[in-house]
Amino acid sequence: ETGVTQSPTHLIKTRGQQVTLRCSSQSGHNTVSWYQQALGQGPQFIFQYYREEENGRGNFPPRFSGLQFPNYSSELNVNALELDDSALYLCASSFRQGVVGGEAFFGQGTRLTVV
């Protein structure tokens, strides 16, 4: 077990709706990253939070946003859902010391289906 838990495990939403996915990081980890994994592809970096501030973003539009809380939990919010947003969403926590990022430990993921 990685100590990283995500909820819910599965979710079905309608195009145009909004969704919030949740993650509880491993205790002591100060960095959380979110990834999107389409079927048959490797995970794609969405963004990262370090000490509750967004610290970097991949090639995803602003309708993807997030939060990190002091209790090691975090959220990924997606507005105006599109069919292409259907994917496995992964949360990864790690301990970053200065500019060096450590090993990332992943949760089990949330399978989002947009219909």
Alpha helices, H only, 27-98: none
Asked if residue 66 binds other proteins (CB under 8 A), the reply is: no
Contact 47, 39 (CB under 8 A): no
Phi and psi based region of residue 28 (left: phi greater than 0; alpha: psi -120 to 50; beta: remaining): left
Matching residue, tokens 């949760």: 107
* Among the listed residues 8, 18, 102, 115, the single contact to other proteins using CB under 8 A: 102
Query: Among the candidate windows 14-22, 29-37, 64-72, 75-83, which touches other proteins by CB under 8 A?
Result: 29-37
* Among the listed residues 76, 81, 87, 104, the single contact to other proteins using CB under 8 A: 104
CB nearer to other proteins: give 71 or 97: 97
